[in-house]
A and B are shown apart, each in its own frame.
Chain A
Amino acid sequence: MLPTAADMPLFELHHTVTPTDVNPLGVKGIGEAGTIGSAQTIVNAVVDALAPLGVKHVDMPLRPKNVWQAIQNAKE
């Protein structure tokens, strides 16, 4: 015997609203919160590393050809 969706008890749903003060929107991540910031952290690190070359922006994904192209574009 395995419990299924039909075996769920009745429950009431409430929300708690506690805005964070560490960002302008007051929003927090839920679920896979750890993955939310990682991509932009890495992209920002790459843009920071390339800043001396004049690069201000790189679109994801950071494929080698995209990073190379961003450097070429900054040279022009």
Chain B
Amino acid sequence: MYPREFDYMAPSSIEEAAAALAANPGAKVMAGGLSLLPLMKMRLFSPEAVVDIGRVPGLDAIEDRGDHIAIGALVRHRETASNPLVAEHARALAEAASWTGDTQVRNRGTTCGSMAHADVAADQPAGAIALGATMVAVSSAGRREIAAADFFVDTLTSALNPDEILVEMQVPKSSGAEGSAYDKLGRRGGHSDYAVAGAAAWVRRSNGTIVDARVALTGVASKPGIAAATTAAIVGSDGSEAAIAAAAETAAEGFNILEDLYGSEEYKAHLARVYARRALTEALRRAG
């Protein structure tokens, strides 16, 4: 299929891109295009204009900023999956990126693009939420920070305004006994394809006790989100196998689980519990 006609703009700076969005209310931002272009070709979505940020310099780096790492809007999944800084401080995100799409998708699609697209079954949003990431949006009106936990609003809907560009995602650097992990069941089995259900966990230990944690689910509801009951149950515990199992048992609580082609409500709730347990177990092992 060919998309409907649209205007194409390739600005050379973020300021220019923001101005182009402000001047064209029907415009959509494109980075890798891996999510946007298929929608346009199937004519499920026909923006009047596409603002391609692919030629904006300075957006393709993963930087160490002291207390956090910043993942630029043009950082590909492959880079997120293999970068040493991400591996050290945001392992859940690295794992999620390594299981996003296939090799071609990972070489072209971007981590921030996956966030902005907000697919209900995408992997990396769960990692971003569990790691307490911050999304940085820029428009001609200025710069705005949005917590990952508030960023995903509904199916294919993020908290970005139409005139805003997600320029980077910031992930706090780990300090001491912290660990994170992501695990999922893919639609084609194992880790292949979108998540039927997936869970990301982040934990911080101190003197044998879990002092802080976040567990996030993807694939089961209209948006990824924190498994609040599981998170509350694991904090303050000793992180034993029994404590993890008890916490994971509550993973599906608070989610409006949506049945789809790949699983019934009951099956998805079951997977939420299984993957919350696995992600927590691995995150705790990594926290040492």
Contacts and interface: CB of A to CB of B under 8 A. Distances in A.
Interface of A: 63-65, 68-69, 72
B266 A64 contact: no
Contacts of B30: none
- Determine the interface band of chain B, counting residues with CB < 8 A from chain A: under 10
B262 to A, nearest CB: 7
B6 to A, nearest CB: 38
B270 interface: yes
Contacts of B264: 65, 69
Interface in B238-281: 262-264, 266-267, 270
B270 A64 contact: no
Contacts of B262: 63, 65
B266 A72 contact: yes
- For A63, A65, A68, which residue has the most chain B Cβ atoms within 10 angstroms? A65
B196 interface: yes
B266 to A, nearest CB: 7
| 10 closest Cβ pairs, A-B complex | A65-B263, A65-B267, A68-B267, A65-B264, A64-B185, A65-B262, A68-B270, A69-B267, A64-B189, A69-B264
Contact residues of A: prevailing secondary structure: helix
B101 to A, nearest CB: 20
Interface in B141-173: none
Given A65-B196, A65-B262, 14 more contacts: A63-B262, A64-B185, A64-B189, A64-B196, A64-B263, A64-B267, A65-B263, A65-B264, A65-B267, A68-B267, A68-B270, A69-B264, A69-B267, A72-B266
B274 to A, nearest CB: 10
A71 to B, nearest CB: 10
Nearest to A63: B262
A65 B267 CA distance: 6
Contacts of A63: 262
Contacts of B267: 64-65, 68-69
Contacts of A64: 185, 189, 196, 263, 267
Contacts of A69: 264, 267
12 contacts: A63-B262, A64-B189, A64-B196, A64-B263, A65-B196, A65-B263, A65-B267, A68-B267, A68-B270, A69-B264, A69-B267, A72-B266
A63 B270 CA distance: 15
- For B189, B264, B267, which residue has the most chain A Cβ atoms within 10 angstroms? B267
B15 to A, nearest CB: 48
Contacts of B189: 64
Contacts of B196: 64-65
A68 B264 CA distance: 10
Contacts of A65: 196, 262-264, 267
B278 to A, nearest CB: 15
Contacts of A72: 266
B132 to A, nearest CB: 31
B202 to A, nearest CB: 27
A65 B189 CA distance: 11
A62 B265 CA distance: 18
A63 B189 CA distance: 9
Contacts of B270: 68
A63 B267 CA distance: 12
A62 B189 CA distance: 11
A1 B267 CA distance: 59
